[in-house]
Amino acid sequence: EVQLVESGGGLVQPGGSLRLSCAASGLTVTNNYMSWVRQAPGKGLEWVSAMFNDGSTYYADSVKGRFTISGHKSKNTLYLDMNSLRHEDTAVYYCASQGRAFDIWGQGTTVGVSS
Amino acid sequence: AIQLTQSPSSLSAVVGDKVTITCRASQAITSVLAWYQQKPGKPPTLLIYDASALETGVPSRFSGSGSGTQFTLTISSLQPEDFATYYCQHFNRHPPLYTFGQGTKLETK
């Protein structure tokens, strides 16, 4: 069974940093199109970042220059390094694997940015 | 950037109703359009991909159609477990960019 498990969320002050992890089983993160998608409280879904199986990376304008996506082949884990966090980054962060579409999702990890 | 606008934003219906949700793109897009269902506190689940292909395991009462700038998700006979929020989503390949609609909340009347 394919499974994605996120971790690393927490409460951080504005300007702070966090690293989110997405541990995969049943698929290899570096061989797939992987994304981070977030959902602010009571709001809709927002794509954040993607890493393709050729190693190329892409970002939403709202996080460009502050967030970095990466993958660790031997740990089979996707990461999202988040710097210069803002109040508006408060959200549940999901990792998702793109096959036909985003067909596999993790359960999410919650990030809160507050002073 | 392409924008996706769903209508309605919310919808009240009863079990057995036929429900249609529309997703309009700000410009003509390929059929790389998907529909998701999300229940409170849970991640989204994929219902439809490539505008009209039913994801494995999804009940056949769900269907998708459309092309160009207008796409629809139809639930032929609403079941109690279908009350949820629905999102459309497009993948633009060049440059890679993912866009979600704002969501449609389907509530019981």
Chain segment B32-43, per-residue pLDDT in tens = 899 999 999 999
- Give the closest of A44, A47, A50 to B103, CB-based: A44
In this prediction, residues B75-80 reach a mean pLDDT of 98
Q: Do A101 and B95 touch (CB under 8 A)?
A: no
Q: Do A94 and B89 touch (CB under 8 A)?
A: no
pLDDT at residue B31 greater than cutoff 80: no
Is B53 an interface residue toward A (CB < 8 Å)? yes
- Torsion angle of the four alpha carbons A8, A46, B86, B90, in this order, in degrees rounded to the nearest 10: -120
> What DSSP string describes A16-65?
--EEEEEEEESS-GGGSEEEEEEE-TT--EEEEEEE-TTS-EEE-TTTTT
pLDDT at residue B1 greater than cutoff 90: no
Q: CA geometry: angle at A91 spanning B9 and A53, to 5°?
A: 95
Q: Which residues pair with A72 in a beta bridge?
A: A77
The pLDDT value given to residue A91: 98
What is the SS3 assignment for A88?
helix
Among residues A37, A42, A28, A30, which one has the least CA distance to residue A80?
A37
DSSP secondary structure letter of residue B55: P
What six digits make up the tokens of B44? Answer: 């989204």
Tell me the C-alpha distance between B91 and B5, whole Å: 15
pLDDT bucket at A58, cuts 50 / 70 / 90: very high
What six digits make up the tokens of B6? Answer: 């769903």
Q: Which residues pair with A79 in a beta bridge?
A: A21, A70
